Chains A and B, each alone.
Chain A
Amino acid sequence: MREEAGSDQVRRTLRRLAHEIIEQSGDLGNLALVGIRTRGVTLAERLSHIIENLEGIRPPVGVLDVTLYRDDLDRAGGARTRLKKTDLPFSCAGQDIVLVDDVLFTGRTVRAALSALVNFGRPGRVLLAVAVDRGGRELPVRADFIGRNLDVLPDEEVQVLLEERDGRDAIIVRESPDFAKKHIPKDIAPHSSALEDFS
């Protein structure tokens, strides 16, 4: 296991992301953050708090569970994952929305999140903020706000640890054969980078 960022670095990274979001959004009053469960939600709350400190406006934070929109229900254990509630305390219609997730990998989670989001109204604009972009995309997805780009091997797992959930802030990378096994489908060659996220 190696640590790519400690708590100070994570804090500064989030502050920069908040600044970028403020800069990019025309009207802060029309901005909402939507966190993808589970760590995306914590990150969205952090970002909302930082934006409030900087600009005096606190963007509302929604919670999105994309389980029902995933394309891998048939993978072993897919249906056994625990479903949690989606909770968007605002209408998406016309809103500027920043989707927030911890790690951007294949892009499938973001694809699912976009499908879910449009069921709650037609957003004005949707942007994507992630703490880590680890590459390995399987879909044409890119992030608008990136905390950190990491170049990692397929069998390495990137984790964003957050104080509220894990007791400390950090970005860590660790070798995880289980992770590779879980995420590389059997019919795809072992050297493929076809790995999924771990929310």
Chain B
Amino acid sequence: MKPEPLQGKDLLSIRDLSPGEILFLLDMTDSFREVNERDIKKVPSLRGKTVVNLFFEPSTRTRTSFEIAGKRLSADVINVTASASSAKKGETLRDTARNIEAMATDVVVVRHSASGAPAYLARDLCCGVVNAGDGCHEHPTQALLDLYTIREHKKEFEGLRVSIVGDIARSRVARSNIIALRKLGAEVMVCGPATMLPAEAGSLGVRVTTRLEEAIEWADVLMALRIQLERGTGTAFPSEREYAATYGINRKRLLGAKKDMLIMHPGPINRGVEMSPDVADGPFSVILEQVEYGVACRMGILYLLAGQRGEGGGGLAGDPPGKSRVRVAEAEDAVAH
């Protein structure tokens, strides 16, 4: 497996990426990390480019991360949140996005509660679209920063064992991570109460267990997911207290773990539910590293996607590489007819 440049104009899902493209994005993350370690954490490469964060779901970490990433590249970053947008007035998603694009935007970062919303927009827009989480589908940038964090500590993915604990069925973080890890040769075990395990576990190529102890003992990396009450997880178990008692990761449960096991969490943590504070802040934890690398990871993605528009910018791209050619061809057809 060798790194190979990103092909599409968008970043919509890990499923679309080849193993080489994933490695390419991890290498980009590595390079941008150096910028974040400087005294002056800013480079001029996206000066004059515009990035719009279009968030239809609440988010602090991901939105801030994209905003910082864009600003460190000198792009103008504009945040649009659903509660303050014309979506409240009944405008369709497509219209909102096309209006934003009409203002000569280079990249739109979309988070939406509907699976497939970013892909729907990407078909319609000439600018780059980044999926920052769509429903129960995927959260590709989270998986990329998770993989980068793992690689920093474990070097190789081949044969690495990663356990993911929590609401696997409804988690876009779990889905993106499982697909990415499998593409790079890691083994994955998912763990949670039966009501939270996906029906398609077999096709994802993962092991399944309902016993937390088994998932911990087996793992080189233990990834806990947030209990997402807003996504209907509440119906999957009787109470948070019972979940914590059975699947909460605490120090006692880690006794059987490998000595160099990593503990990860995509945040925000429900302390005392899926993870106890002493574990979240403990020696195995790389949770804040994940956040740190997230900025570098998103810088790489914005740099690649914003830099691909043809000269002149605005309107239809001159000759953008990848998928957007289809769009240009369509437009030419429309003119011809």
Contacts of B30 in A (CB 8 A): 85
* A28-36, A70-78, A125-133 - the one binding chain B: A70-78
| Alpha-carbon gap, A86 to B27, bound state (A) | 14
Contact: B310 with A74, CB < 8 Å?
A: yes
Contact: A87 with B38, CB < 8 Å?
A: no
Say what secondary structure dominates the interface of chain A. Answer: loop
Task: Out of B5, B40, B45, B311, name the residue touching A80 (CB < 8 Å).
Answer: B5
A65 within 8 A of B: yes
Contact: B309 with A74, CB < 8 Å?
A: yes
| Alpha-carbon gap, A79 to B75, bound state (A) | 15
| Alpha-carbon gap, A77 to B303, bound state (A) | 12
Contact: A69 with B32, CB < 8 Å?
A: no
With both beta carbons as reference points, the residue of chain B lying nearest to A118 in the complex is identified as B40
A182 within 8 A of B: no
Contacts of B28 in A (CB 8 A): 82-83
Contact: A79 with B307, CB < 8 Å?
A: yes
Say what secondary structure dominates the interface of chain B. Answer: loop
Contacts of B319 in A (CB 8 A): 76
Contacts of A69 in B (CB 8 A): 43-45
B313 within 8 A of A: yes
With both beta carbons as reference points, the residue of chain B lying nearest to A84 in the complex is identified as B31
Task: Out of B6, B31, B38, B311, name the residue touching A83 (CB < 8 Å).
Answer: B31
Contact: A85 with B31, CB < 8 Å?
A: yes
Contact: A68 with B44, CB < 8 Å?
A: yes
Contacts of B42 in A (CB 8 A): 119
Q: How far is the CB of A33 from chain B (nearest CB, A)?
A: 19
| Alpha-carbon gap, A76 to B311, bound state (A) | 9
A115 within 8 A of B: yes
B210 within 8 A of A: no
| Alpha-carbon gap, A145 to B309, bound state (A) | 38
Contact: A65 with B31, CB < 8 Å?
A: yes
Contacts of B46 in A (CB 8 A): 73
B17 within 8 A of A: no
Task: List B residues 39-66 near A (Cβ within 8 Å).
Answer: 39-40, 42-46
Binary interface profile of B, 296-323, with partner A (CB < 8 Å = 1, else 0)? 0000100111111111010000010100
Contact: A120 with B38, CB < 8 Å?
A: yes
Binary interface profile of A, 106-123, with partner B (CB < 8 Å = 1, else 0)? 000000000110011100
| Alpha-carbon gap, A120 to B45, bound state (A) | 17
Contacts of B45 in A (CB 8 A): 67-70, 73
With both beta carbons as reference points, the residue of chain B lying nearest to A69 in the complex is identified as B44
Q: How far is the CB of B265 from chain A (nearest CB, A)?
A: 28
B35 within 8 A of A: yes
B230 within 8 A of A: no
Task: Out of B27, B34, B38, B73, name the residue touching A82 (CB < 8 Å).
Answer: B27
Contact: B309 with A119, CB < 8 Å?
A: no
| Alpha-carbon gap, A87 to B27, bound state (A) | 16
Binary interface profile of A, 7-30, with partner B (CB < 8 Å = 1, else 0)? 000000000000000000000000
With both beta carbons as reference points, the residue of chain B lying nearest to A120 in the complex is identified as B38
Interface residues of B (CB under 8 A from A): 3, 5-6, 24, 27-28, 30-32, 34-35, 38-40, 42-46, 73, 300, 303-311, 313, 319, 321
Known: A68-B44, A80-B6. 20 other contacts (CB 8 A): A67-B45, A68-B35, A68-B73, A68-B303, A74-B311, A74-B313, A76-B319, A79-B305, A79-B306, A79-B307, A80-B5, A82-B27, A83-B32, A83-B303, A85-B30, A85-B31, A87-B34, A115-B44, A119-B39, A120-B39
5 A-B pairs with C-beta separation under 8 A: A78-B307, A80-B5, A87-B34, A119-B38, A121-B39
